[in-house]
Amino acid sequence: MVGSKLSASQKKKKKKLLKSFHQNFLICSFAVMGRLIVVFLVLSVCLVCTHGSNTSTSARAGEPKIRCMEAERKALLNIKKDLQGTRKDIDDLLSSWGNEEERRDCCKWLGIRCSNKSGNVISLDLSPSTFGTSYYNLKGKISPSLFELRNLTYLDLSVIGFSRRDHIPSSIGSLSQLRYLNLSSTSFMGEIPPQFANLSSLEVLDLSDNNDLVTTKILESASHLSSLRILVLSSTNLSTASDWMQRVSQLSSLTTLQLHSCHLPNISSNNPSSISFVNSSRSVAFLDLRWNRLSTSIYPWLLNLNSLVHLDLSENRLEGSFPEALGKMVDLTYLDLRYNMLKGSIPESFGKMVGLTYLGLSFNDLSDSIPEIFYNMSALEYLDLGHNLLHGQIPTSIWNRSKLRTLRMGSNNLSGDIPQTAFQQFKQLEILDISRNSLGGVISEAGFSNLSQLTYLDLSFNSLTLDIHPDWVPPFQLDYILLASCKLGPLFPKWLQTQKNYYQLDISNSGISDTIPNWLWDPLSGDIIWDDTSYLNLSNNEIKGEFGNISLEIENYSWQIDLSSNQLEGPVPSFLLNVVALYISRNRFSKLDFRCNDTGFANLGFLDVSYNQLFGELPDCWSQFESLETLILTDNNLSGKIPSSIGSLTALGILQLTDNNFNGELPTTLKNCTNLIVIDVGGNKLSGLIPSWTENSFPQLTILNLRSNNFSGSIPSSICHFSNLQLLDLSSNDITGRIPKCINSLAAMTRRTVDLPGSLIYGTYIKGRDSYNKVKVQIEWKGKLTELVSTLDFLKSIDLSSNRLIGEIPSEITQVVGLVSLNLSRNSLSGQIPSEIGQLASLDSLDLSRNHLVGQIPPSLTHIDRLNALDLSNNNLSGKIPTSTQLQSFPNAYMGNAELCGDPLPTKCQDEELERTDSGAVDEEADDELLTRGFYISMALGFIIAFWGVCGTLIFNKSLRYGYFKLLNDAGDWVYVMAAVHKAKLLRMIKS
């Protein structure tokens, strides 16, 4: 053992040898590595030189080396060739696609991606986002060359406008390696080709926004699309897919399903097989089924999808009590049930949905008070309970939701006072809407102190008071400031001066009696805001004063300004005419302050300066207002002629110049305004003949009001050609001649219900306004000059009263069966009332008074059962008033007709007098007359019966006849014997 051990000297020597070996090994290794590096560098230089030499040689030979395949490059160029559009779109978007030497590598073209290994094109993306835009105008057809790109895994042709007659080509099935396919907004129509089943590798499919595309076969191919994760078929046609639930359930890998606006058929809960869940896909996390016709029968299928995180069932037909079962889907973070018909209260089970961040329940019929369950929804960020029937106070659990970003509870019946500290917990709140309730209380600046993220504030139509210090500087910059009917005045809230970039400011009906500060106009002169709902509403206050010499250039052409119902005066400043809609009615403005050389009025579409104090003549340079659709100057002191330049307003739809002092004739240029729907120039001093407009002049004309002017001549028959005319008022003029017999050609009045054209809705400008929802027209209604608004949709009226019309009322007028009001009074009409006037069953008001009508009141008038006003007075009518519940309820309607009689007049008709006299005689001799008559009748009947009862029997029965005569002989003998016996006895008595 001792021999086997090394001595200390040996160990030392061994250690030295090992150290030397390690050193030599490292030296050798570094030397080898150095030589290898040198060799590698040399080879690299050689390869580079060789490659450069080859490239140069190839270039000289005209055969450049490119990455993409030549066949695929040609196919792509053919695809470009079959695309159409503006030259700018083609040149700008596909500028990298070409045959030039520097553009021959198609793998470098925009929208193309090639495989790093094979060089094949694997991605073709022509979507707008690829080209850095949200829109372009490419269209054309799908080139057959597309299907030569067999290695495509990614294909996006969205937003290309293919022909609406085109179907998706069946060759799409040859692209079997596709994993992503987007054909959204491509205008394809018809059925999906069955070859889609060949796309077994497909993971993402988007065919949305093709309204004429029938996508039922996609769901039928569900068993072949086992890899599909995302399916987007929104705004396609699935109306015949009665088994869509089962088909969707077969997509085992599906995580996202968007089927909104697909006309999905409702699934009957009476058919259990229709909601079978065999092989149901439980991986769906995102489900969008809004804008369909689904009912509560969908609930069982939904509850089987236990991975749901996002569920949108808004704008369907869910009804009944609130679906408590949905509260058990504890993984939901987004739940939208808006625009349904759900009722009742919110179930307590919703309090368990602790991960819920979005909850939309507006536009249902939810009632009861808001439950405290929201206290448990700790993650809630979006809560929409608006447009329901909720009442009571807002629970404290709502005010404690510190993570809320959106809170909407508007349009309910909520009441109580808002706590002063209610909003202080909402440090992340961006949208706050508690409008249109019955909430009260005082809110100070402290309540808003933590709302640094707030951009939308709507407290309107409550009883709230904002008690805010004038020097307060808010921590937020609001886009929407909606404080209508809140108490803000009497001075303008100075804190509004800090809000520089709002889209909407509504402080109407807020108790302000101040002058308008100049800083209020600053946002209007700022940068352009591309929002078509930008408006400033200061209406229904007591704002006073003049505008003075404000020089302001409004940059944002889409502003709408409402200053109506205030006390503003002086000229209307020209800068206000630079907006798209201006409402300044019911003020004290004296003049429209614009000159013919002014510019900037081209965007004004709506101008209402009614009920002011405008005077003088209108400038004759309206051609500047090329976009004007509505012009309302009712009830001012304007004079002179109507400017002929109004005829240059080719977009004009509503012209109302009522109750001014305009004179002269209607300008002939008016016929150029072919879009006119309303011509209302009543209450002026216009004269001349009624123009013989043709139907082509105003094909949409619905209201023609020329009342209370000095028009003369006859009614032109061309008026009968206005097929949309619904209100015709020519009253109080100097019109002569006869009523045209063609009046039954007014087609809109021959139908019982006709709605006004949509362009008559003033709300097309300021959204949500109630005071401009309908056209306002002054007509004589039931004997009074009335401004009709709400009933105008259903009003069909003809008023020709107070003229000098002659002749008979044409029988054709009884064919205008939609008429609600007919007034022909105060004329010189003669003849009889048309016998078929009862056909006007929709009449509410009929006035034929103060004419020369003769004859009887037609009995058919009793067929009109909805008359509320009738006047036939001061004519030459005669005879009995027909009897009906309606006609006897107008005692003054028949006055001034000397020969009329009957109820309700005190004059009785002659036949009624005779009947009354005869009735009295009958009463005096009733008993004798009835007895005598009955006696004679009974006697005659008795004689006949007795005679034939006896004689008939004797005639036809011989034995009875013999027996009867024998009886008579025996009776005669007996009488004779008895008489002889009595006679003998009497004689003996006398003798004795």
3-class secondary structure per residue, 580-612: CEEECCCCEEEEECCCCCCCCCCCCCEEECCCC
Cα-Cα-Cα-Cα dihedral of 612, 613, 614, 616, to 10°?
160
pLDDT, residue 837, reads: 94
Amino acid at 979: A
Of the given ranges (50-54, 358-362, 637-641), which has the lowest mean pLDDT?
50-54
Residue located via tokens 């001792």: 2
Residue 745 has pLDDT above 80, yes or no: yes
Round to whole Å and give the CA distance between 823 and 780.
Answer: 9
Query: Structure tokens of 593?
Result: 């302050």
Nearest to 889 by CA among 914, 864, 913, 909: 864
Helical (H) or strand (E) element with 49: helix 8-61
pTM for the model stands at: 0.76
What's the pLDDT tens digit per position in 810-837?
Answer: 999 999 999 999 999 999 999 999 999 9
Query: Structure tokens of 742?
Result: 């063609």
pLDDT band at 918; cut points 50, 70, 90: low
pLDDT, residue 952, reads: 67
Domain 616-628+641-650+657-855 in CATH 1.10.540.10? The answer is: no
pLDDT, residue 38, reads: 38
pLDDT, residue 340, reads: 94
Q: What is the mean pLDDT of residues 316-326?
A: 87
pLDDT band at 304; cut points 50, 70, 90: confident
pLDDT, residue 9, reads: 53
Residue 31 has pLDDT above 60, yes or no: no
Residue 344 has pLDDT above 70, yes or no: yes
Helix (H, G, I), strand (E, B) or coil at 384: strand
Of the given ranges (19-28, 49-58, 233-242, 515-524), which has the lowest mean pLDDT?
49-58
pLDDT, residue 914, reads: 55
The domain locations on the chain are: 68-162, 177-265, 616-628+641-650+657-855, 938-976
Four-way CATH pick for 68-162: 3.40.50.300, 3.80.10.10, 3.40.50.150, 3.50.50.60: 3.80.10.10
pLDDT, residue 709, reads: 96
Render 498-512 in DSSP notation, one character per residue: G--S-SEEE-TTS--
Q: Which stretch, 193-197, 635-639, 903-907, has highest mean pLDDT?
A: 635-639
Length in residues, the chain: 992
**C-beta separation of 310 from 336 below 8 A:** no
Residue 376 has pLDDT above 90, yes or no: no
pLDDT band at 765; cut points 50, 70, 90: very low
Residue 453 has pLDDT above 50, yes or no: yes
**CA of 555: how far to CAs of 126, 547, 576, 604, 772, in Å?**
35, 19, 12, 13, 26
pLDDT, residue 540, reads: 96
What's the pLDDT tens digit per position in 182-227?
Answer: 999 998 999 999 999 999 999 999 999 999 999 988 888 887 888 9
Round to whole Å and give the CA distance between 310 and 295.
Answer: 19
Round to whole Å and give the CA distance between 235 and 260.
Answer: 6
pLDDT band at 793; cut points 50, 70, 90: low
Residue 39 has pLDDT above 50, yes or no: no
**C-beta separation of 852 from 876 below 8 A:** yes
Computed over every residue of the chain, the mean pLDDT equals 83
Which residue would you say has higher pLDDT here, 217 or 8?
Answer: 217
Q: What is the mean pLDDT of residues 504-512?
A: 95
pLDDT, residue 329, reads: 85
Of the given ranges (28-37, 411-420, 655-664), which has the lowest mean pLDDT?
28-37
pLDDT band at 555; cut points 50, 70, 90: low
pLDDT band at 34; cut points 50, 70, 90: very low
Residue located via tokens 């080509």: 169
Cα dihedral across residues 882, 883, 888, 890: positive or negative: negative
HEC assignment per residue over 173-222: HHCCCCCEEECCCCCCCEECCHHHHHCCCCCEEECCCCCCEECHHHHHCH
Nearest to 801 by CA among 828, 838, 830: 828
Nearest to 708 by CA among 795, 803, 638, 775: 803
Q: Which stretch, 10-19, 153-162, 268-277, 299-308, has highest mean pLDDT?
A: 153-162
Round to whole Å and give the CA distance between 729 and 722.
Answer: 14
Residue 653 has pLDDT above 70, yes or no: yes
Query: Structure tokens of 916?
Result: 């009354």
Q: Which stretch, 182-186, 693-697, 902-906, has highest mean pLDDT?
A: 182-186
The answer to whether domain 68-162 and domain 616-628+641-650+657-855 are alike in fold is yes
Residue 979 has pLDDT above 90, yes or no: no
Residue 523 has pLDDT above 60, yes or no: yes
Amino acid at 348: E
Nearest to 535 by CA among 764, 759, 760, 757: 764
Q: What is the mean pLDDT of residues 595-601?
A: 77
Q: What is the mean pLDDT of residues 117-128?
A: 91
Q: What is the mean pLDDT of residues 787-812?
A: 84
Which residue would you say has higher pLDDT here, 694 or 646?
Answer: 646
Helix (H, G, I), strand (E, B) or coil at 480: strand
User: Percent of the chain, pLDDT > 70?
Assistant: 79
Query: What are 729's strand-pairing partners?
Result: 705, 799
List CB contacts of 906: < 8 A, sequence separation 6 or more.
none
What's the pLDDT tens digit per position in 566-591?
Answer: 999 999 988 888 888 999 999 999 99
Domain 177-265 in CATH 3.80.10.10? The answer is: yes
Round to whole Å and give the CA distance between 589 and 594.
Answer: 13
Nearest to 263 by CA among 235, 286, 230, 226: 235
Of the given ranges (178-187, 245-254, 341-350, 553-562), which has the lowest mean pLDDT?
553-562
What's the pLDDT tens digit per position in 138-171?
Answer: 888 888 999 999 999 999 999 888 876 778 999 9
Number of helices (H), then strands (E), belonging to the chain: the values are 10, 58
List CB contacts of 992: < 8 A, sequence separation 6 or more.
none
Q: What is the mean pLDDT of residues 766-790?
A: 57
Round to whole Å and give the CA distance between 582 and 564.
Answer: 9
Residue 738 has pLDDT above 90, yes or no: yes
26-49 as b/e, with b when 16 or more CB fall inside 10 Å? eeeeeeeeeeeeeeeeeeeeeeee
Round to whole Å and give the CA distance between 402 and 410.
Answer: 20
Render 735-785 in DSSP notation, one character per residue: EEE---GGGGG-GGGGSS--PPPGGG-GGGSSTT-STTSS--EEEEETTEE
Round to whole Å and give the CA distance between 339 and 360.
Answer: 9
Residue 243 has pLDDT above 80, yes or no: yes
Q: What is the mean pLDDT of residues 685-689?
A: 95
Q: What is the mean pLDDT of residues 947-955?
A: 67
Residue 851 has pLDDT above 80, yes or no: yes
pLDDT band at 466; cut points 50, 70, 90: very high
Phi then psi for residue 156, to 5 deg, are: -130, 110
pLDDT band at 476; cut points 50, 70, 90: very high
Query: What are 442's strand-pairing partners?
Result: 465
pLDDT, residue 482, reads: 96
Residue located via tokens 């800090």: 498
Amino acid at 83: L
Query: What are 123's strand-pairing partners?
Result: 113, 154
HEC assignment per residue over 919-940: HHHHHHCHHHHHHHHHHHHHHH
Query: Structure tokens of 306?
Result: 């236990």
Q: What is the mean pLDDT of residues 227-254?
A: 91
Round to whole Å and give the CA distance between 642 and 664.
Answer: 8
Helix (H, G, I), strand (E, B) or coil at 955: helix
HEC assignment per residue over 278-316: CCCCCCCCEEECCCCCCCHHHHHHHHCCCCCCEEECCCC
pLDDT, residue 268, reads: 63
